Amino acid sequence: MFAKVIGRRLILSAFILLAVSLIVFGATLLLPGDAARAILGQQATPERIAALNEQLGLNQPAWQRYFSWLGGLFVGDFGTSTASGGPVSELLSQRVWASFILMAAAAVISVPVGIGLGVYSALHRGGRRDQALTGISLVLAAMPEFVIGIALIAIFATSVFQILPAVTLAPPGDPVWMRPEQLILPTLTLVLVVTPYIVRMMRATMIEVLDSGFVEMARLKGVPETRVIFRHAVPHALGPVAQVVAIQLAWLAGGVVVVEFLFRYPGLGQALIDAVTYRDVQVVQAISMLVAAVYVVVNLAADIVGILTNPKLRSAA
């Protein structure tokens, strides 16, 4: 039953990804201008455009290009980037890792911190500390990520203090994790964007759980308070929060674009912006597919957590 649910979801996901690829390919065809013109810019003389189109293989009809790309996908070939002339997989391999590290760092920090603060807030419900936490998380949740990023840069890198690097710079070929200090500000920005939602959701569900009958019963029976909270209340509150965490993680996959742009972070987001500007269709498709895949996987994981933390569903599975 459990395996069947997951299997069905996976098959559905494959169709979703296929639809995404068709839509993205169609959308890039609608963009005005073509790769050769975009690359050559003002210097696009007819002779040079013809020469470049020949090199890039853009003389083939669109449907032929789409199917040869799709065919390549099944054998693990993401195609060739028109801008760089090299395979897409080579262009993106390092960037995938860079983006993954940024997202993973943000997730690893914000999920426990968010849950912890949410529980803390719920336990001190109505008190001054709860009010402060609620206020701060509301303000942060209301701010777009680029505002938070710019504020952090101004405070820690340029205007007020100059203690942290403002952008990510590495010599050619060096992975981003060689310089952890450059990861601090982008990670912190993402953490500040994602955490407030988790705090608020955790606080709300936790309050609900603390008010419920079985917690009252446990307390009446004389179970120690820490045990009441961590053994009985928190696991109950996690189910709904997992959904919020999933949405936040999925947002990270897309929202990282703006943050990468701001910090010159050499990840997927930056590659996507470049690829759209230069009509590098195969790169746009590869990245869209990756982001879509992250959405699918993360949502699937959230459902699994939901099942595992709910005894009723768990035993049914």
Partner 1 sequence: MRTPNRRQALGAGLSVSAIVGLSACGTATGSSLDAGKPVKGGTLRAGVTGGNAADTIDAHIPVNSGDIARTVNLYNCLLSRTDDYKIQPELAESFEPNGDATVWTATIREGAKFSDGRDITPDDVVFSFERINDPDDPKAAAASFTMLDKVVATGKRTVEFRLSEPNGLLNDSVSEYTTGIVPSDYDPKNPVCSGPFKLKSHDPGQSTVMERNDYYWRKDGGFLDEAAILNFNDSDALINALLSSQVDAIAQIPLALVEVIGADERMNILNSKTGMWLPFTMRVDRPPFDDVKVRQAFRLVVDRDQMIEQVLSGFGTVGNDMFGPLSENFPDFPQRKQDIPKAKKLLAEAGYPDGLEVELVTAPIQSGVVEAAQVFAQQAAEAGIRVKIRKVDATTFFGDEYLQWDFAQDFWYTRDFLPQCVSCSMDESPFNETHWDDPGFTKIVEKARGISDSADRKNLEHEAQKQLYDDGGYIIWGFANQVDAYQKYVGGLVPNATGRPLSGWRLDRVWIGKV
Choice between 33 and 112, CB closer to partner 1: 33
Choice between 150 and 297, CB closer to partner 1: 150
Minimum distance from CB of 33 to partner 1 (Å)? Answer: 4
Tokens read off for 97: 């890792």
Minimum distance from CB of 171 to partner 1 (Å)? Answer: 5
Choice between 3 and 30, CB closer to partner 1: 30
DSSP alpha helix (H) spans, 157-280: 184-210, 213-220, 225-227, 234-263, 268-277
Choice between 55 and 131, CB closer to partner 1: 55
Contact residues for partner 1 (CB under 8 A)? 31-34, 37-45, 47-48, 51, 55, 81, 83-87, 90-91, 150, 153, 157-159, 162-167, 169-174, 178-179, 181-182, 261-264, 266, 270-271, 273-275, 277-280, 283
Minimum distance from CB of 194 to partner 1 (Å)? Answer: 22
Secondary element (H or E) of residue 156 = helix 145-156
Minimum distance from CB of 51 to partner 1 (Å)? Answer: 5
Distance CA 247, CA 168 (A): 27
What torsion, rounded to 10 degrees, do the Cα atoms 207, 213, 214, 218 define? 90
The beta-carbon contacts of 227-235 under 8 Å, at least 24 apart in sequence, are 229/119, 229/123, 233/206, 233/209, 234/115, 234/119, 234/206, 235/309
Minimum distance from CB of 275 to partner 1 (Å)? Answer: 8
Choice between 122 and 157, CB closer to partner 1: 157
Distance CA 36, CA 49 (A): 6
Choice between 218 and 275, CB closer to partner 1: 275
Burial class (CB in 10 A: 0-12, 13-18, 19+), 135: exposed
Minimum distance from CB of 279 to partner 1 (Å)? Answer: 7
